[in-house]
Amino acid sequence: MDFEKNEFRRLFPNLAREMESKGHENHRVKITSIRTDAKTGEKAVSKKFVHYMPDVVDFIRRCDTNEQAEEIVDYLEKRGEISHEYAQRIRKQIREKGIRSFGSKKEEGYYFKHGTL
């Protein structure tokens, strides 16, 4: 489907504004595959994590370093997704015990591997 920029802006003004704003590079999602058969796609969907919302610990468990984990905590605190008090407790645990004290590292594809079909 081909669109001229002006037509795209007219049909999707909010999306066009978001795509043209600074920092939009950080909001990209990489698509590594597609499914043309709906039944195959439905079978591939994990039921275990349906409606599951990852929390700060889930994100920390994907980190390789304490610094990465602290960036996550800072970001979630800044957005108001975790309280200042909770953020302080997490930072203290990171400094004193390290990121693996939150659990083993969640590797790429964790939710696909551990979900139930």
pTM: 0.52
Q: What pLDDT does residue 98 have?
A: 92
**pLDDT tens string 25-39:** 566 666 555 566 666
Looking at the structure, do residues 45 and 90 belong to the same domain, yes or no? Answer: yes
Looking at the structure, do residues 44 and 95 belong to the same domain, yes or no? Answer: yes
Looking at the structure, do residues 24 and 80 belong to the same domain, yes or no? Answer: no
Burial state string for 37-61 with b = 16 or more CB within 10 A and e = fewer than 16: eeeeeeeeeeeeeeeeeeebebbbb
Q: What pLDDT does residue 54 have?
A: 74
Q: Which domain holds residue 102?
A: 37-114
Q: What pLDDT does residue 67 have?
A: 95
Identify which of 88, 22, 1 has the alpha carbon closest to the alpha carbon of residue 12: 1
Residues above pLDDT 70, as percent of the chain? 63
Looking at the structure, do residues 2 and 54 belong to the same domain, yes or no? Answer: no
Which regions in the chain score pLDDT beneath 70? Answer: 1-3, 22-52, 109-117
Looking at the structure, do residues 26 and 73 belong to the same domain, yes or no? Answer: no
